[in-house]
């Protein structure tokens, strides 16, 4: 059977571009199973860490000075359980009984069914913010899949997902596979070549790399280099422009529409996540503008880094105080100062990257209600047009507040399983199947091993598992149930929205992200007592306030129509006090001689002039001279105080430039 004309043309192009075998460029990064043949380890070059860093490094390095690569961007994930590969270090494709594993697409359709099951409480803000956190913590580095599922593809680059002839959705579009690039291979951080490792392109900490980036050159691109501000567009104060071919811009372009630049370009996937990114960038700029009026060091760098420190601290608190509470039902944010644990690796677990993605995917709604019209999610992928409308961000925020999230369960909407990132009908992919395929490539252990290891039990019956007929159809061998399907068939526990093994994984990961991060907001020495107290008052509702109307729901992750989630005026939410972050303090005491048997000491407040920041206490004090026992003349003491405050303000700074030396003033009093 001959190829269609367009495929024949593509095949001919492949020969011209890549040669007869369709091989990629010679410097293509190694896929995981081939890294063992490379002698190049990128983690042997020394990194010099600052002795006492003032601000967090942008790339996540130096979290642990003895091991500066821990947590750094472009380093491998950490493993909890040994990987589950074949003896030749390749992904497994068969069960213990030597039977083929079901295809990820088949598992997606039969287990993670594309149906809707709304959460009764959570709004669409919850999965959107959860995705925002995902974009901050990790992205697995993959080879370019643009040629996969075409005659140009190479087996060394592509790890495609097979589509069966019985696939009801994709069959009419004559699709035979879903394109997926293989993971870029890496040795482990200690460079011992034992098992393939996958690479995290992001820094491994909660440091808002999604808006600031994980590399210096990205951060430089995003900053205005003036007054500590991040760049925004001239149109509607949105994110700055970035040329991204995936974005679909309406034509003719009457609203100056454009794709968006950010620390993570996944900001462009849909208007929901675009909105979340925009809100946080605007929030950074709001903080920077307030700091400019109070910081003694008003340099662009100091304003920017101080604003970044505040924004990251607020974000960390919101993650632990609100998002994890929504997942777990329990309070997890630190209420008292904590300690950094230098022995804890602040790295993302390989399995966490898979499980957290699956959790977030299960929460994404199928549609969003904008201006009373239900807009299917699959119709707005890479389409920023809604945000360029008048009050576009406010409308999108209101729509998310009024739209229910999906429940955390094994059901995922069709917008993700059939039409993810589609640019035309039938052109989308199955995000769940991609995650399942990635799970195999990552060497994720089977559920049996992971469950027993994480819970420290030896339960071959898997009593936490609901072994339903649907699960049995995919896995007749109960002992070979894969990780993600197994976790989503666990019984939920307590007030959590998932089973106990998932809870153990989530707890372990987020405890490490807190304990191992020396810059975590609650650790002693990171913030002052007053600063820590202010950060504990941060809420996502307050962050959303700058882009909402005059009031917002008290709990930003819950639907606004919930009777118990009554809106509050934005002015009712606590805000940061810029002076708390200005490091306002007195100078050392200066002696001005003795008068009326009293030694006169004065000091100056370092608050920026006109900032409305003040030092607490007095700028003048009198102590005994200690040289004679004459009776103190209290009238003279009053003259000293009056003379001081006549010539100096309460901050100890001269009011009269002609008489700035208080010693001279004392002599003129002739006491």
Tokens 């040629």 -> residue: 147
Burial profile 237-272: b = 16 or more Cβ within 10 angstroms, e = fewer: ebbbbbebeebbbeeeeebebbbbbbbbbbbbbbbb
Phi, psi of 83 (to 5 degrees): -65, 155
* pLDDT for 8: 38
* pLDDT for 24: 32
Which residue ranges in the chain fall short of pLDDT 70? 1-39, 193-194, 547-550, 626-632, 659
Q: Which residue segments constitute the domains of the chain, with CATH numbers given? A: 31-142+183-582 (1.10.640.10), 590-669 (no CATH)
Phi, psi of 538 (to 5 degrees): -65, 140
In whole angstroms, what is the distance from residue 291 CA to residue 228 CA? 9
Q: What is the pTM of this model?
A: 0.90
* pLDDT for 634: 76
Between the two ends of the chain, the Cα-to-Cα distance in Å is 114
Measured from the Cβ of residue 614, the count of other Cβ atoms closer than 10 Å reads 13
Supply the Cα-derived Rg of the chain in whole angstroms: 30
pLDDT tens column, 567-623: 888 888 888 999 999 988 899 998 888 877 788 898 988 888 888 888 888 998 988
| CA torsion, ordered 523, 525, 530, 531, to nearest 10 deg | -70
Signed CA dihedral, 311, 316, 318, 323: sign only: positive
Q: Which of 409, 402, 415, 340 is nearest to 371 (CA)?
A: 402
- Residues 466 and 490 sit within 8 Å (Cβ to Cβ): yes
DSSP 379: G
* pLDDT for 17: 36
pLDDT tens column, 75-106: 999 999 999 998 888 899 988 888 999 999 99
* pLDDT for 370: 87
């Amino acid at each position: 059977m001959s190829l269609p004309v367009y495929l024949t043309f593509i095949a001919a192009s492949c020969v011209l571009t890549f040669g007869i075998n369709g091989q990629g460029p010679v410097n293509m990064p190694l896929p995981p199973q081939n890294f063992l043949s490379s002698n190049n380890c990128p983690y042997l070059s020394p990194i010099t860490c600052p002795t006492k860093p003032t601000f967090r490094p942008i790339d996540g390095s130096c979290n642990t000075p003895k091991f500066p690569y821990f947590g750094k961007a472009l380093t491998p994930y950490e493993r909890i359980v040994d990987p589950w590969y074949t003896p030749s270090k390749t992904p497994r494709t068969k069960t213990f009984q030597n039977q083929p594993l079901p295809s990820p697409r088949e598992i997606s359709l039969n287990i993670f069914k594309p149906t809707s099951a709304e959460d009764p409480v959570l709004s669409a803000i919850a999965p959107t913010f959860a995705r925002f956190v995902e974009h901050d913590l990790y992205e697995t580095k993959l080879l370019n899949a643009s040629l996969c599922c075409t005659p140009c593809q190479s087996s060394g680059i592509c790890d495609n997902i097979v589509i069966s002839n019985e696939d009801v959705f994709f069959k009419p579009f004559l699709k035979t596979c879903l394109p997926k690039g293989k993971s870029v291979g890496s040795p482990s951080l200690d460079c011992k070549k034992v098992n393939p490792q996958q690479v995290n392109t992001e820094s491994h900490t909660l440091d808002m790399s999604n808006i600031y980036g994980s590399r210096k050159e990205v951060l430089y691109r995003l900053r205005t280099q003036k007054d500590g501000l991040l760049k925004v567009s001239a149109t509607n104060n949105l994110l700055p422009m970035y040329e991204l071919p995936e974005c679909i811009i309406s034509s003719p372009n009457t609203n100056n529409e454009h794709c968006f630049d950010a620390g993570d370009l996944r900001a462009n996937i849909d208007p929901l996540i675009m909105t979340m990114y925009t809100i946080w960038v605007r929030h950074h700029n709001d903080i920077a503008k307030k700091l400019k009026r109070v910081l003694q060091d008003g340099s662009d760098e100091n304003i920017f880094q101080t604003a970044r420190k505040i924004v990251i601290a607020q974000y960390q608190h919101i993650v632990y105080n609100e998002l994890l509470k929504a997942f777990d039902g329990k309070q997890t944010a630190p209420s008292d100062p904590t300690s950094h644990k230098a022995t804890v690796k602040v790295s993302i677990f390989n399995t966490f990257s898979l499980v957290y993605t699956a959790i977030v995917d299960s929460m994404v709604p199928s549609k969003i209600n904008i201006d009373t019209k239900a807009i299917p999610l699959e119709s707005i992928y890479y389409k920023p047009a809604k945000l360029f409308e008048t009050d576009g961000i406010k409308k999108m925020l209101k729509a998310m507040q009024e739209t229910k999230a999906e429940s955390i369960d094994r059901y995922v909407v069709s917008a993700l399983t059939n039409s993810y990132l589609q640019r035309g009908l039938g052109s989308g992919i199955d995000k769940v199947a991609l995650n399942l395929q990635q799970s195999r490539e990552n060497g994720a252990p089977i559920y049996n091993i992971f469950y027993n290891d994480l819970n420290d039990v030896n339960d071959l019956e898997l009593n936490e598992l609901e072994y339903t007929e649907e699960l049995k159809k995919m896995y007749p061998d109960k002992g070979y149930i894969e990780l993600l399907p197994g976790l989503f068939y666990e019984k939920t526990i307590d007030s959590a929205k998932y089973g106990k093994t998932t809870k153990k994984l989530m707890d372990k990961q987020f405890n490490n992200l807190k304990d191992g991060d020396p810059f975590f907001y609650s650790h002693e020495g990171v913030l002052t007592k007053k600063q820590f107290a202010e950060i504990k008052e941060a809420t996502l509702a307050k962050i959303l306030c700058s882009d909402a109307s005059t009031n917002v729901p008290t709990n930003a992750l819950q639907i606004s129509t919930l009777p118990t989630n009554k809106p509050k005026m934005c002015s009712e939410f606590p805000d940061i006090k810029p002076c708390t972050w200005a490091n306002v303090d007195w100078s050392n005491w200066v002696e001005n001689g003795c008068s009326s048997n009293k030694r006169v000491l004065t000091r100056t407040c370092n608050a920026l002039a006109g900032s409305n920041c003040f030092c607490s206490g007095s700028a003048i004090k009198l102590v005994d001279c200690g040289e004679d026992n004459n009776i103190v003349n209290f009238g003279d003491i009053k003259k000293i105080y009056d003379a001081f405050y006549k010539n100096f303000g309460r901050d100890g700074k001269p009011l009269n430039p002609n008489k700035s030396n208080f010693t001279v003033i004392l002599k003129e009093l002739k006491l």
